[in-house]
Amino acid sequence: MAIRGRWWNGSWGCMARRDIWLLSDGRLGRVRGRLGGDGGQGVSYDFTDEASARAMVDRMMKTSAGTWRNLTAAVRQESDRRQIH
């Protein structure tokens, strides 16, 4: 699945950090959320359309503390850079 969106709540540390990914295979959408760092607890939700998946992303951000940052452009740049090399 390709990354369609990536967000971070701007907090560091295993107790405060939150991450959200919006993934798609062109047909289905998946929203992944993680509490904590790399080894943190994760959840995943599958959707049949991107609008429903994006609504879940919005709900997850509204119910979690922090100053949410959209990292989608940075993730895409890194992915493009890796494909060139």
pTM of the model: 0.85
- Count CB atoms within 10 A of the CB of residue 23: 18
Is residue 57 within a helix (H) or strand (E), and if so which, with residue range? helix 50-62
Residue 59: what pLDDT? 97
pLDDT at 84 over 90: no
Structure tokens at 67: 């100053």
Q: What are the pLDDT digits (tens) for 20-76? A: 999 998 889 999 999 998 889 999 999 998 889 999 999 999 999 889 999 999 877
Count of domains in the chain? 1
